[in-house]
Structure 1
Amino acid sequence: MKGKVVFVAVVLAAAAGLSQAWEPVIDPVSAPPSQSADAIQIKRGARVAALGDCIVCHTAAHGKPYAGGRPLETPFGTIYSTNVTPDMQTGIGDWSLDAFRRAMRDGVSRDGHLLYPAFPYPHFTRMTNGDIADLYAFMMSRAPVHATAPPNRLVFPLNFRPLIAGWNMLYLTRGPGRAVAAPAMAPSAASAALGDAAAAAGGAASADSAYAVQWQLGRYLVDGVAHCGACHTPLNTLGAEKRDAPFAGGTLEGWDAPALTKLSQAPTPWTHAQLVAYLRTGFASEHGAAAGPMLPVTQSLAKAPPDDVDAIATYLMSLQTPASTPTVNASMATSAATSTAISTNPQPADLDQLAPPAALATGATLFNAACASCHSIVAPMSTHGDRPSLAQGTAVNADSPRNAVRMMLGGIDWHGSAAAHFMPPFAQTFTDAQIADLANYTRARFSAHGPWPGLDAAVVARIRKETAEP
């Protein structure tokens, strides 16, 4: 793998001819724009920053907002986010709007060096000049922080920035995205996206027009500033999104980002309203709570205008693909008795109703001791407050055990608000073998799939060592 990466990197360097490996310097400004700039424009910029989740990537753990230093783990090593406060020495205080726009569109810093695409400029390039200018005004209104990010730790030769010129030649399409006609709207889509009353009151033509406007806005946000594909699209060998598999799911920071094209294939198919609620609150009563890298995204989207989040949901719901005919995998079955119990009664009131095979006995014991008080059908959390059964959860029904194991290891931190969702971590409580037993039992107990094939202590150990969050 390393040899292949080195070879491809050399080819890229030759293809680029290093002619575009360093761009011209844009003259610095003597001082950042006044923080008393157009308050309305700064407010618009705050909207863009919330949609782009800028604060999460550009804020280190326990660091100052937007001061950078957060480690971003990639298959090629660690990249540290930069300081985007208006500090004149370590931030972007001496950047003009032209320099900021070039970074967003072309991935080029003010001094001419190329930025790594961990900064998602392949998406930001699709933003309008107006949105980029608004974001610039917002960033320049932040408090300046003097902070220098640690040096990146990348494998050779990918630590040689001029190679990015070749990457850009292959994968960067510069400039705002081209308009695409909205798909034909089904009546159900109109009711979901616009509301039954609004769709009926506006008539078919008006509803079509309103849906098209909302869809276009959603597409612009998803493909641009929100950069959803950066996480939810699989990457190729060189870390670029696979163009033939948009939104088909990806992996980052030790978590699987699920496919956004299969929301209608969930045990309870997602609706437009449920997706809006999830994106704005981090919780959908029919599906569960956000965790891992998605949790801070929902916290940022909570600060975005509701109409924008609604448009994002409209566009994402239009991407759904029909489910293929399911096939039976014998390795995913447990035993005839257990499979019957799971399919006919996926959440029995009394856990003793389920007689797990010997392979799941340890997991059942662990579940009863550590999980049943919250996740059994008679637990207060399950009977009050519209909490969904684990049977509805994406992690339990996923093909990969990664997210379920991540949840068990790290839990969900308490954020001190009434709307927070909390789960205690078990990384220091259970061994790798116990986590594997618990995960396999939970999947057999709450889904129709049976235990994950191959999930054992060694797999948990590998997941435990991966960096999930800095």
Structure 2
Amino acid sequence: MVVVFGGVSAFLLMWRPAIEPVELPQHFDSEQLLRGARVVEAGDCAVCHTRPGGKYLAGGLGLVTPFGTLYSTNITPDPDTGIGRWSLPAFERAMRQGISRDGHFLYPAFPYVHYSRMTDEDIRDAYMYLISGPGVHAPATPNQMNFPMNIRPLVSFWNLLFLHSDRITALPDKSQTWNRGKYLVEGAGHCAGCHTPLNALGAEKSGQSLAGGVVDGWEAPSLRGMSSGPRPWTSEQLVGYLRAQVVPNHGTPAGPMRPVSLGLARLPLADVEAIADYLLSLQAPAATRSKESSKMTPIAAQQAAGLALFQGSCAGCHAPGAAMRTIDARPGLEQTSALHATSPRNFLKTVMEGIAPVPGMPGPVMPAFSASLSDDQLEALAAYLREQTQPDEPWTDLSSTIHDLRQEAK
């Protein structure tokens, strides 16, 4: 009897019914579509659901996880390969519970844990915007998940542990701007999805929200204590950075943050200011970083090599007298957050991968140096620039980080 009861309980936990397909409406309210476009932009939907060179929101982007590779799906209103037969209840279920219209479980790389906290109005507006666009026929690319995560019903147990759909409520003792920022960061923006360390099951570690993580080999820095760190952010700087601008003392977004910031630049300025207001209010956790080896000085030969590399490869854009500093607002490298970070990972990733041009935008653009600089040269350049920026705190893990990045690139 116990075995039967357990089997029935497991079946009920792992099974969800399909929701009947519907015919989509043909007429839409323009104001609702405008609101929906803002929700979709705040939720970074295009960042994951548009592959490089692909059609807008037609999916196909590969997302590498510790459990295998997922490919984002088509969320255009194509009736055969997209969401063109999805009703609003089916869309709401996907956003709040991670269940597709046909009843299969979605992997939590889709951030329904955060979307579940959004308002009914925002989810409805996003739905109307998505189904109003042009449909694109784009069949899903098969996922390549490792056993046992290739068995989708097992996600139900993950949800049981980590899906807590508490809505975001405004705090009466905080300003309207702060509450709006909290809603965007913790809801549609799902910032914790990248900026929080993950546990062995791929869920955000409890009690460490926004304390920093790693995404696609890039360090997603802690978003706590930004206003009081060694290089504190001002609201103006953070707003500019979030909108993909080059800002003094911190540079410009690169890596996975680049497309996110380009999306934020399309939001109303007031929303980005609200995000900055909320983030700058977060307090830093207790310092845990070791001071070991903080007094070590890089060898003179390495410093000389780093200086030569800077003059040959970087000075044309980043030296104090470089014309590009004025023409294209290229930052002095000593001003960038990557050179002041505890880890050299983001600086090295930027040098190795560069910053790709965005069609229709003048810049900033930076070439990739991965093929033209050897490991020793990358190490020398990084050590030299770190010495110019943080002479009392040299990076001691440059060689191992470069090795890791080379392996990850393969």
Q: TM-score w.r.t. structure 1 length?
A: 0.81
CA displacement at 1:289 relative to structure 2: 0.7
Match of 1:22 in 2: 15
Q: Is it true that 1:334 corresponds to 2:297 in the alignment?
A: yes
Match of 1:420 in 2: 363
CA displacement at 1:38 relative to structure 2: 1.2
Give the Cα–Cα distance (whole angstroms) in 2 for the partners of residues 247 and 322 of structure 1: 10
Give the Cα–Cα distance (whole angstroms) in 1 for the partners of residues 140 and 177 of structure 2: 39
Please list the CA deviations of residues 15-60 of structure 1 after superposition, one character each: whole Å capped at 9, or x if unmatched.
972422121111111x3221x3111111110010111111110011
Q: Is the 8 A contact 2:248 2:335 kept in 1?
A: no
CA displacement at 1:431 relative to structure 2: 1.8
The 3 A distance-change label for structure 1 pair 41 and 166 is same
CA-atom RMSD, angstroms?
A: 2.4
CA displacement at 1:459 relative to structure 2: 3.3
Of 409-418 and 393-402, deviating more is 409-418
Q: Is it true that 1:49 corresponds to 2:12 in the alignment?
A: no
Alignment counterpart, residue 389 of structure 2, candidates 446, 464, 469: 446
- Extract unaligned runs of 5+ from structure 1: 1-12, 184-211, 336-355
Give the Cα–Cα distance (whole angstroms) in 2 for the partners of residues 327 and 241 of structure 1: 24
Query: Superposed, which structure 2 residues align to 1:329-408 within 5 Å?
Result: 329-330=292-293, 333-334=296-297, 357-382=300-325, 387-408=330-351
Give the Cα–Cα distance (whole angstroms) in 2 for the partners of residues 241 and 109 of structure 1: 22
Give the Cα–Cα distance (whole angstroms) in 1 for the partners of residues 205 and 288 of structure 2: 25
Q: Is the 8 A contact 2:318 2:331 kept in 1?
A: no
Q: Is the 8 A contact 2:78 2:136 kept in 1?
A: yes
Of 362-371 and 243-252, deviating more is 362-371
- Count matched residues: 405
CA displacement at 1:331 relative to structure 2: 5.4
Give the Cα–Cα distance (whole angstroms) in 2 for the partners of residues 466 and 17 of structure 1: 38
The 3 A distance-change label for structure 1 pair 315 and 450 is closer
Q: Is the 8 A contact 1:217 1:311 kept in 2?
A: yes
Match of 2:110 in 1: 119
CA displacement at 1:374 relative to structure 2: 2.0
3-state DSSP of counterpart to 2:219: strand
Q: Is it true that 1:237 corresponds to 2:213 in the alignment?
A: no
Of 428-437 and 402-411, deviating more is 428-437
Match of 2:274 in 1: 311
The amino acid across from 1:82 in the alignment is: T
The 3 A distance-change label for structure 1 pair 19 and 406 is same
- Extract unaligned runs of 5+ from structure 2: 1-5
Alignment counterpart, residue 32 of structure 1, candidates 14, 24, 30: 24
Give the Cα–Cα distance (whole angstroms) in 2 for the partners of residues 281 and 233 of structure 1: 22
3-state DSSP of counterpart to 1:92: coil
The amino acid across from 2:342 in the alignment is: D
CA displacement at 1:375 relative to structure 2: 2.0
Give the Cα–Cα distance (whole angstroms) in 2 for the partners of residues 404 and 366 of structure 1: 15
Give the Cα–Cα distance (whole angstroms) in 1 for the partners of residues 71 and 386 of structure 2: 36
The 3 A distance-change label for structure 1 pair 14 and 156 is farther
Q: Is the 8 A contact 2:36 2:129 kept in 1?
A: yes
Please list the CA deviations of residues 357-377 of structure 1 after superposition, one character each: whole Å capped at 9, or x if unmatched.
123332222122111222222
CA displacement at 1:152 relative to structure 2: 1.0
Match of 1:263 in 2: 226
Match of 2:402 in 1: 460
Q: Is the 8 A contact 1:18 1:165 kept in 2?
A: no
Give the Cα–Cα distance (whole angstroms) in 2 for the partners of residues 326 and 63 of structure 1: 42
Q: TM-score w.r.t. structure 2 length?
A: 0.92
Query: Superposed, which structure 2 residues align to 1:6-405 within 5 Å?
Result: 17-29=10-22, 31-34=23-26, 36-182=27-173, 212-321=175-284, 324=287, 328-330=291-293, 333-334=296-297, 357-382=300-325, 387-405=330-348
3-state DSSP of counterpart to 2:184: helix
Match of 2:3 in 1: none
3-state DSSP of counterpart to 1:73: strand
3-state DSSP of counterpart to 1:166: helix
Give the Cα–Cα distance (whole angstroms) in 2 for the partners of residues 14 and 392 of structure 1: 60
